[in-house]
Amino acid sequence: MKAKFLKFSMILAIAIAFVGCKDKADEANTSEAEAAAVSESTSKKYTVNVAESTIHWKGFKPTGTHTGTINIDNGTFNTNDGQLQSGTFSIDMKSINVTDLESGDGKENLEAHLMGTVEGKEGDFFNVTKFPTAAFEITGTKALEGDKTRLSGNLTIKGQKHNIAFPVTITNTDDMMTIESDAFTIDRTTWGVNYGSKSVFDNLGDKFINDDMELKIVVKAKKA
C-alpha cells in the first residue's frame, strides 16, 4: 500500500511539474549587450504613442503571483521598406503599477517596495530614485515562421545592460505601427534584482520569489 502511495505521489508531482512548465512563458534568450542597430538615411521614422503603449509584468512566488504594468514614456523606431530596422524606447520605472491588488489592500505597499521608496529597502528591487528609467534599444530583427519576428535588443535595468531576444508580431495600419511581444520571461538577477532569490540567498525556505519575471510588451507608434 505504501509503495503504491509513493508511486502515485511521484506521478502526481511529475504531472504538476509538467503542467507548470507547459503553462510558463518561454524564457528570452539573454546574452551580453550588443551594438545598437543603425537605420539608413532613407528610413521612415515612427514616434511611440505613450498613451497606448505599456509593459505588462508578472512575478511569481510559492503562494501565487502578482501582476502589473509599467509605462513607456518615449521612444522612436525606424523602418526601411516597411521593415523594422532600429529604434529605442525609455521605460518609466516610477510608474510601476500593481493590478492584482486593490487600493488599501496591500497595493500601495507592494508598489512602494518594488520602486524602492520605502526607507531601508531602496535596493531590494528597482531603486527608482537612483534608477528612474530603464531602456530598450534594438540590435537586430529576424523573420520567423508565420507573422512572427525575432526581436533582439539591449535591455538596461538598474544601470546593467544585457541583450535579450524574443518573438513579436509587427503590424502596420495606415500610419500606425504596433509591436506586440509574446509573453516571455527574464531572470531578474541578471540585472541585479536579487531580493528573495533562492539562487542568491540561502535559508529562505518558502519565503522566496522566483527569479523568472514575465513580461509582455505592447508598443504603438505613429509615422512622424
pLDDT per residue as tens digits for the range 70-88: 999 999 999 998 899 999 9
Q: What is the pLDDT, as a whole number, of residue 23? A: 57
C-alpha cell at 46: 515612427
Q: What is the pLDDT of residues 107-154, one digit of tens each?
A: 999 999 999 999 999 999 999 999 999 999 999 999 998 899 999 999
* Residue 171 burial (10 A CB sphere; 0-12, 13-18, 19+): exposed
Q: Which three cell numbers stand for residue 26?
A: 518561454
What residue ranges define each of the domains in the chain, with the CATH number in brackets? 26-223 (2.40.128.110)
pTM (2 decimals)? 0.88
